[in-house]
Chain A
């Protein structure tokens, strides 16, 4: 039946699982994750290199208003005769850039605040948690309206809204992941050896919450794109002649019966982008399991 070995194998170490080793091929054996990654790379590539392609200018009129797709303009034109294809490419770029850029800033702030909350003891922790609660409880659009009143509607308002939504979640997620790490024996041992808070953060906390943070960043970006989309759709965010996916849906909505592709195409693209980041986030979470190694 089974093989017989002459003597018990001496090597006892548990199989080195998850922990450190990353597969060389991203998301090996994870078709959904791979699909998401493919989609994401495709969209980012379009956003980055699309404008360099000979697809026309996103801001100059072709003189041909609300043309249907095909017919010289691959995706038709808008109400001012601007070609939609370059505008959508521009929109992808704008939406992804705003969401990614803001989320990266929110991540840096959130990781520092979350780790510091976990490290610094009860009072500071309480303060940081309550502060995020306050931001969290503010209606996003109220923040955006405030910013648009001060700075005028535009990119800044959309960015502020994205920041206000993604930061508190990031702080919470990081803090929740960091709290158990702070309790671990190895952190106490480092404290006893005289480690500064900064060192604890850098050497022990950050690497141990990294997996959680990476997954959360992907989710936050997808959420950020939705927020930006919503803001620009309502006219509080990105303003013409610039374009984001949300503002395109917003202006296209008026011509839904005449030229359905105008609103539909940017809408679908936004949906795909959100899906892509979510799938990648899920796959990252599956891969970098946040739970620390345990003995079998």
Chain B
């Protein structure tokens, strides 16, 4: 495999809790290593408290590891300096877009932040991106309130991909959607990844959705990686007891 796009190297992270006079350290990650290469989707499954959302924040530069390193294209991750090269699609469709901005303005925002292109060229990019995520052009000037949950999530995928990022984090990106919409968005993500070749981390509590979206899966529990394998291997009953429990929970 070529050099990873995103790499977590023996990352430790503790949260600090409690009032100033009685600070406690609450460990969240105990030395986790993880890498996603170009065109690869790594699935990250686990229940609440497993540390998967902490990993998400570390990968976006919203948290810094206390030990170990988060590297992006071989260099230490820097959110401002490397902006536009990574992006995120989050959980709640009702809050994924700013209700006061038009869909086009929301999708355009990452370009506006990095000051790429002119207003007209950005608009053209937005319209192209809308087409790519399967939204009609006249969605551009609508407000989020006029969109369904699935349409909003499509728009947030468009916003994530508009800067042609090298890495995209999908954090419970389909969890809040109706099942019939889930499969649409999962298929969309798969198709776009094939076209654009970004590396991806697909975080979810839902093993069924994750093994569908990912190439490789990492199972986390209590801040540690407890199981790992190709996505296809997760279609077979696992011998690992915790993975097996997750499999049972995701049966339909």
Contact = CB atoms under 8 A, between A and B. Distances in A.
Interface of A: 12-14, 16-17, 19-20, 184-186, 188-195, 199, 203-204, 207-208, 292-295
A272 B94 CA distance: 42
A193 B110 contact: yes
A48 to B, nearest CB: 33
Contact of A293 (B94, B110, B159): B94
A192 B159 CA distance: 11
A175 to B, nearest CB: 19
B97 A192 contact: no
B94 A193 contact: no
Interface string B120-142: 00000000000000000000001
Interface string B175-200: 00000000000000000000000000
A256 to B, nearest CB: 52
Given A16-B142, A185-B90, A192-B88, 16 more contacts: A13-B148, A16-B146, A19-B99, A20-B100, A184-B98, A185-B92, A188-B62, A188-B90, A192-B62, A192-B79, A193-B163, A194-B84, A194-B114, A204-B100, A295-B93, A295-B94
State the majority secondary structure of interface residues on A: loop
A16 B98 contact: no
Nearest to B110: A193
B75 interface: no
A270 B221 CA distance: 66
13 contacts: A16-B143, A20-B100, A185-B91, A189-B87, A192-B61, A192-B62, A193-B110, A194-B113, A195-B109, A203-B98, A204-B100, A293-B143, A293-B144
A194 B80 contact: yes
B101 interface: yes
A16 B141 CA distance: 13
B160 interface: yes
Contact of B88 (A184, A189, A195, A204): A189
B106 interface: yes
A207 B100 contact: yes
B79 A295 contact: no
B96 A194 contact: no
A293 B145 contact: yes
